[in-house]
Amino acid sequence: MRAAQFVGERQVEIAEVPTPSPGLGEVLVRVTWAAICGSDKGLFISPGAKPGLHGHEAAGVIAAVGEGVRERRVGECVVVYAVIGCDSCSYCARQEYTRCRHRPGGVGGCFAEYVTTPERNALPLPDDVDTECGCALSDCIGTPYKAAREAAVQPGEWVVVFGGGPIGLNAVQVCAGLGARPIHVEPISYRRDAGRRLGACESLDPGASDVAVAVRDLTGEGADCVMECSGSVEAERAALSAVASGGRVVYVGENGSGLTVNVSEDLIRRDVRAMGSWYFFPRHLNELIELHRAGRVDPLGVVSHRLPLERIADGFAAFCDRTENCTKVILRVSEE
């Protein structure tokens, strides 16, 4: 099978590698669409080779099943769910795999024609949702949707979204689709334009104004909810300044650095609730499909580039360098 291999800094080759076989309880998925995630950037821009196969946002068709899996699943269109749980704990019993403390790993290798995954990680798509849409419905929109649900975003609320990458832009349209009033904060102008197109009521350039002051000018007391999707240290701090007393802050963007919080002044004395949210639960896929059917979210609305697998390096360059007004790249790997 064809697969992308990351052989050096900004170097990707398409090579022939063995097609994997599904093991016990696994399915073999023929990947039709795979997406470049923000967390994949290091594969392209960091030095040195990255052995193995990579990519975790994908959808496709089940081509074969391993022992213990029903044969009738062959031919089923599915979304690949990337997080693998232990399947024994109480979290896994609720299919909340991201909370499993004994996670054995994740599904990787989706920048290839075929990938194996546990059967429970192959989430079925209904007949009216194709795999291109299914690919976009996974991490890219599922992550901000779960965060909005965790933060209990309600119709009519002011929600500030920091970040104009794929997660931030989809957070804007998810909040708009839930009936809230998003304020989009992003320094890059073409991404602010995309945020307005996806439903932002207002857009702010953090380099041109004090975000907290601007938010209070717009809302009166501050935002009911803030979704920090940029991973910026400055935005992490600004999120606490922009939220109203009694409001909620949900952190989605990651950077690995420490955020200093004055618990008394920032949280306790303002009745502010701060939380984190990672990835999404399988049940959220069906909820998003219903929002899509109702015309309240467009899973492909953030996609700016559709390229064949052979042009994966071009897709990474546009995404990492923020050229060609790139917001999200999806790759056509094979025919549905």
Class of domain 143-276: alpha beta
State the Rg of the chain over Cα: 20
Token pair of 190 as six digits: 């073409």
Give the C-alpha distances (Å, rounded to integers) separating 292 from 165, 225, 288, 296, 311.
20, 23, 6, 6, 29
What is the rounded end-to-end Cα distance, in angstroms, of the chain? 16
pLDDT over 80 at 325, yes or no: yes
Token pair of 85 as six digits: 């749980």
By DSSP bridging, strand 11-16 and strand 2-8 are antiparallel
Residue range 277-321, pLDDT digits in tens:
999 999 999 999 999 999 999 999 999 999 999 999 999 999 999
d(CA 151, CA 126): 28
The hierarchical CATH code for the domain 2-138+280-332 is 3.90.180.10
CB–CB of 6/44 below 8 Å? Answer: yes
Kindly report the pTM of this predicted structure: 0.95
Q: What is the mean pLDDT of the chain?
A: 96
Number of H helices, E strands in the chain: 10, 17
CB–CB of 100/106 below 8 Å? Answer: no
Strands (E), the chain: 2-8, 11-16, 26-35, 57-65, 77-80, 83-84, 105-106, 114-118, 122-124, 158-162, 181-185, 202-204, 223-228, 243-251, 273-276, 305-308, 329-332
So where are the chain's domains? 2-138+280-332, 143-276
Alpha helices in 198-245 (DSSP H): 211-219, 233-242
pLDDT over 80 at 256, yes or no: no
**Mean pLDDT, range 228-244, rounded to an integer:** 94
Token pair of 235 as six digits: 């935005």
Of 94-98, 208-212, 238-242, 258-262, the poorest mean pLDDT is in 258-262
Using pLDDT thresholds of 50, 70 and 90, give the confidence band for residue 259. confident
Token pair of 203 as six digits: 């857009």
Residue range 112-165, pLDDT digits in tens:
999 999 999 999 999 999 999 999 999 999 999 999 999 999 999 999 999 999
The share of the chain scoring above pLDDT 70, in percent, equals 100
Using pLDDT thresholds of 50, 70 and 90, give the confidence band for residue 261. confident
Using pLDDT thresholds of 50, 70 and 90, give the confidence band for residue 225. very high
**Mean pLDDT, range 2-18, rounded to an integer:** 97
* Nearest CA-CA partner of 302 in 163, 126, 158, 100: 163
pLDDT over 80 at 258, yes or no: no
